[in-house]
Structure formats: C-alpha cells, structure tokens
A and B are shown apart, each in its own frame.
Chain A
C-alpha cells in the first residue's frame, strides 16, 4: 500500500499511525459503580492507548469526581507516575466550595499535572453557572485553561443555554463541550460555530451516526476534538466511526490530533 492510502485504509491495516497520533481529551480512570470496566488501571489504559496510537489522554479519575473524600490527589499521583502519557483535569465539585477554593489555590503547584478543570454538573446537580464554581472559571479565564464540561441536551445543569452563558462570561476559558450537548446536536454545532472559545467533544457522540458529520459541516473540523470517555469506550471503535463519517482526511487529522495540540499549547 502506498503513502497515498487513505487514513481508513491505513488504520484498518496497521491499527495505529505514527503520522496521525491520537489525542484523547476526555478520559477517566479507575473502577466505577455502574459497570465493569475491564481496562481501567493506568497500565491497562496505556496498553489500550498503544494499540490505537493514542499519544496522550487527558483524564479526570473517577475517584476525583465521585469520591470527594479522595479528590484530586489521585489525578496528581497518576500523572506524575506516567507523565509521558497522561495529563489531568482538576475536578470541580461546587457542592464543596472550600475544596474548590483549595484546589484552585493549589493549581499552580501542579502545572505539570493539570491542563484545566472538569465540571460534571448533571451528576453534582449544580449548574455550571453556579457561583460556587466561579474560582475555577476565573482561573481558567485568566490563564486560558481548558474547561471540560459534561454537557447534555435539555439539562438544567449543563444544557446549551448554560454553556453559552459561561462561554460569554469567561471568553478566554477554552471550553470543551463533553458529549456535545448530547442529543441536541444542532445546538452544540451552533455554539461551536458561534463562540470562538467553545468546541464540540465526541464522547458518546460517535455511536449516533451522523452527529459528527453535522458538527464538521456547521462548525468546521477545527472546532471538534476527539474523546472517548476511556476506559469506558474503545479507541478503535471511535476512530472507526470517524473514518466512516462524511468528512475529509484533513478534517479527521484536525479532530484526532491537530486541534488538541493547539489547545494544549504543543503547537
């Protein structure tokens, strides 16, 4: 097969491509109550990343999100043990505002670990606009950090209108709409097209055929980033869905790594 082979031909043949690395900007780690996750340790996740050519995963450990008694220290431990393969989002649970303030205050001591913040508003049942999350938003806005939001169509905690409010209030925070306002795909595409600091993210999107095609058509592939919820979802499944979607290989490269590198400051 020649160098002119398509990405699809090459991924099917080789599984992972040196000239098309994958950056997964929506990961987790560890076991969680709702399902058995066969590959949830750092070592298992790295092995899975290697099979698909995933260069870097940016994650927030399940325990950081769901066990406030543990909190963000688990993220720090993992990234410092595997600095070549992982970065983390600092979990923000506004139900514990003192902890939010403490995590934001300690953020600069962990610049080797954190690239930004993670809000999981539907689970915490606190809107992303709530004042108890403001310290994280203000930090992200002041320093151009990433903010990965769990977003869901119709949600009163993180639906499209609340995303718009945050994006306009914090124009220098770089917002990744985790799950791209799941189910309300046109709203997600419209937000990404209109607001420079808002991006669609593909976790739980790629099992709904047609959604990513819509994002690329309406917002452009420069406004879409790759994510899998790893260790929940399989990298090759998600890459394959991109290969089957209606877009160019140049679009796919934007989504798989170029946009992530730009957002992470690697370019």
Chain B
C-alpha cells in the first residue's frame, strides 16, 4: 500500500529574493502541489513571517489553510517583552495554535529564559510544537540554549543540514525527550534516517520536504525505501507530526 505523507515543512508565498525554484505562491498552487505529489496535508509557514514581519506573514497565511483539509499553520511569534503586534488576535496561547515558528537570527532575539519567560513555559505545558529551522533563522548554539532553559519544550528541528549532523542532533535527542527532527535534509545523509530510528526510535522523526527550495520526491523516495520497518516508515511519513499537532490544538 502506498505511504501516506504529511509534509511538516512547506513554505508558501513569495520569498524576498527569487530563486531557481518555483514558489508555492497561491493557495491554489499549494492545493496543486499537495495533489500532484500525493501528500495528505502540510504544516505551512510563509516567507514573509521570516523576511518581512511576523504580523505581515501571519496575516498572509490564513488563505492557504483552505487549500486542503489537512493544512495547518505555523504561526510566528516575537518575545512578549516588547509587546509588538503579531497579527494574531488576542492571547496567542488562548487561541490554541497548531504550531509555532521562531526565527531568532533575523528577528534578533535570544532563545533564553529572560527573553521568553513564562510564554515558553506555557507553550511547553500545552505541548504546542515549536519549529526551528537550521536553514531559516536558528543556529545550533541557539537550539542548545533554548532547550537548556526550556527542557520540556516540544521542539521540531527542521532543515538540519546537508552533511551528517549526528554530532549536533544526537545529544539533543538523548537529553530532551520532546525533541524531534524533520527529515527533509536528514534524508540526504546516507543512513541518517535509519541511524536515528535504530538509536532513538521512529517517534523522533517527522517527514518534511523543504518545498519549495527542495524537491518533494527526493525525501519521499528516500523514506519509501529506507532500511526500516514499515510501521516505523508509516509513523514518520505522517502519523508522528499529526500526533504532535494534536498536542497543540490545530
């Protein structure tokens, strides 16, 4: 039976600087992408959340949520201490977000307790997944600092790098049980997915592609033929991320 894939790492809208790739510019294009690649759904973020302002980007994300049944938003937030607008109505956590994204590099804040205080404690308690991309806005030092201060945070590390990153990721997986890796770039490393499954279990991986910068079929073919059990394959392909989203409120 073909695998059902849910993509945890899709960027929508237009990036500031055009690349060779074709962006997922409109909600219709997102629907077409999901249909053409036979993805059941996606967790999406908008380029403008990172490159313009979280308020602009969050505002642009809403129309894409209607593209298909299983499309969920990653809302971007800023440290509460400056009380800036985020484009989200009311208290962010009371609105029960599906997932959050942080961009500490571009948005110039630290991932430390003095900056985030009670907010990330509440995010941890409500098990809202926080996505951090090593390609889009976070460094390994920042990730280590964040988890040292908020060890119970449900954290999905995306775009972990094209070379084997096991020396960075394994200590985190060893130390923090609520950390998971998105497979888009992990799957480039030969044996990378299999190594994590054998040592930490399939529950620590969620499938993603990095569309539109990367090609969906690449990560899909790797997971389809990875040297792991079929139950583990199915869990990684869709079930694990959907379970994490249930930790938030979708």
Contacts and interface: CB of A to CB of B under 8 A. Distances in A.
B190 A244 contact: no
A233 B178 CA distance: 27
A206 B218 contact: yes
Nearest to A185: B20
Contacts of A92: none
Nearest to B170: A36
Interface residues of B, number: 37
B188 A210 contact: no
Interface string A216-251: 000000000000101111111111110111000000
B191 A39 contact: yes
Contact of A211 (B2, B20, B166, B225): B20
A213 B22 CA distance: 12
Contacts of A236: 221-222, 224-226
Contact of B190 (A12, A230, A239): A230
A39 B221 contact: no
Given A38-B192, A38-B194, A237-B187, A232 B221 contact: no
A103 B193 CA distance: 39
Contacts of A78: none
A232 B217 contact: no
Contacts of A232: 163-164, 189-190
Interface of A: 8, 11-12, 15, 34-39, 44, 48, 51-52, 185, 204, 206-211, 213-214, 228, 230-241, 243-245
20 contacts: A12-B224, A35-B166, A38-B191, A39-B190, A51-B225, A204-B162, A206-B215, A206-B218, A208-B214, A209-B21, A209-B213, A231-B190, A233-B188, A236-B225, A237-B221, A237-B222, A240-B221, A241-B217, A244-B37, A244-B216
